[in-house]
Amino acid sequence: MLFHAITSCFAFLSPIAAQQIYDVWSTTWDRSDLFTYTNLYPNPIDFTTPGATGSADIVVTDTTLYQSMIGFGASLTDSSAQLLSELKSSDSDTYWDIINYLFDPTDGADAAGFSYIRVPLGASDFSASVYSFDDTDGDTSLSDFNINAAPSYLYDVLQDIAGVNSYLKIHILPWSPPGWMKDSGTMLGGSFQSEYTDTYASYLLKCLQAYSDMGFSVYAIGVQNEPQNSDSTYPTCLISASQEAAIGLQLRSLMDSNGFSDTIIIGYEHNWNDAADYPVTLMQDAASAFAGVSFHCYAGSVSDQEEFYDAYPDKDIFFTECTGEFGSDWWSDIKWYMDNIFIGSPNYWSKNGAMWNLALDGNGQPTLPGTDSCGTPCRPIVTVNSNGTYNYNQEFYAIAQASKAILPKDTDGPFGQRVEVAVNGDLDWGLIVAAYVTNRTDSTDWLRYSLVVLNWDDQPSGSWDPTNITATIEFRGQQATYTFPVGVTTLWWYGAPL
């Protein structure tokens, strides 16, 4: 850690003279590198007068800017918080090692800097029991509302995370309204009843107020997780686009009147395959209420996000949930996550990318008793076992590589903004790339540029043969050359202000 901090200092001073690549993070297919940092001082890679292009040629056009990013991360479910809290009680040093490695956003830190966290409001399929914040039948005045129906360790762990990362974007939303607002009379499946529109909006406002009273600054709130899913084994709820629109309009009015005008509402929260329907209808009915919509990975393709963007280019797009499952192939998962979520989703306009459970044990537990949501046990970002052992899974390395590209360079500075990038050459298919610029708090300081590159050229002749790709990088009329191993590479350089 100390060596990293010292060597990083040279990288921060180096851009004064020329555009040079000093900082590289790598996760390789064979796990010889796992979010491994390399500082190239005293032999950086220079951008020089262009020569012949490589077999792959990465062209960065930093005059073409796209969306600003908000961070990458995961969900803090009750189950995740329970395991982390138990670890804090039994081995606080290990607990803080994990929290800092996951969430520390400090420039130059040996950490991933997760900056987005999604928190269920009430029970989900990863809770010890079924509960909402008001389980009193017919309590339309919400006099029995109690945010402390959630386990206290949820808020304790969230407070620790927020203390490590001051940039943290907290996104809260329910997996179901209270059961008495639904035709099923329970949080397990069923449909929302429109007669409770105003009551439910007030319920969500109370959630915001309660979080604020606990000292949390909430970035976003949602109306319903996966509103097209009804499952009788865990909290779910069918809410139509028109119902969500009505709730959103009322909630937006309540928020604006009660000091939450800066908190956004994110709609939809469901799969890619319906991108041109439900979320478009939601915007048609209530565009003034919703900042945008979010997507999940369980049906459809990441390119479907383009359909929503084409319909509403001024609305934000988020990607908020996908889960791995135990027993899958490590490298195949990394390739899929980068292609579809941590490179692919931003390239299709998302401002973030996130996986599901932050922490579970080696059996994908604990889960809500009786839930069928993870037939093959869901795999978390970090496995935390009752004996105190832990390990980071492939989800962590995918998120970490993307996160390192967009974190602020300066304290309280901006996150990275996506810029145009293209890959040309005979091996253009071998590299999947996202490019970002991170602006500075001092307008005279050099801007930081970053690439996140997936080299998935592991079968160039139809059989297994992981092959490095030597690529040229074109930037502002100059050229650098870098050999990308099969895996994921994140690299930085600096350029003068435009």
Residues 56 and 80 in one domain: no
Tell whether 464 is covered by a domain: yes
**Cα 10 to Cα 32: distance, rounded to the nearest angstrom:** 26
Work out the average pLDDT over 246-250.
99
Cβ neighbors of 311 (< 8 A, separation 6 or more) are 276, 280, 283
- The SS3 assignment for 411 reads coil
The model's pLDDT over 426-461, given as tens digits with 9 standing for 90+, comes to 999 999 999 999 999 999 999 999 999 999 999 999
Residues 188 and 275 in one domain: yes
Nearest to 417 by CA among 69, 170, 144: 69
Count of structural domains, the chain: 2
Residues 282 and 295 in one domain: yes
Tell me what pLDDT residue 5 has: 37
User: Domain boundary at 353, 380, 405, which?
Assistant: 405
Tell whether 5 is covered by a domain: no
Inform me whether the pLDDT recorded for 332 exceeds 50. Answer: yes
The CATH number of whichever domain residue 200 belongs to comes to 3.20.20.80
Specify the DSSP class assigned to residue 270: E
Q: Are 114 and 74 in contact (CB under 8 A)?
A: yes
Instruction: Give the pTM.
Output: 0.96
- Token duo for residue 13: 């001073």
- Rounded (10°) angle between helices 152-164 and 78-90: 80
The model's pLDDT over 86-135, given as tens digits with 9 standing for 90+, comes to 999 999 999 999 999 999 999 989 999 999 999 999 999 999 999 999 99
Range of the domain at 462: 20-68+411-495
Tell whether 11 is covered by a domain: no
pLDDT confidence band for 3 (50 / 70 / 90):
very low
User: Domain boundary at 386, 405, 424, which?
Assistant: 405
Residues 445 and 401 in one domain: no
Q: What are the distances in angstroms from CA 472 to CA 54, 59, 64?
A: 5, 8, 20
Inform me whether the pLDDT recorded for 7 exceeds 50. Answer: no
The CATH number of whichever domain residue 49 belongs to comes to 2.60.40.1180
Q: Which residue has the tokens 């931003």?
A: 346
Tell whether 164 is covered by a domain: yes
- Token duo for residue 269: 């929260």
Quote the radius of gyration of the chain (alpha carbons, Å): 23
Specify the DSSP class assigned to residue 471: E
Tell whether 197 is covered by a domain: yes
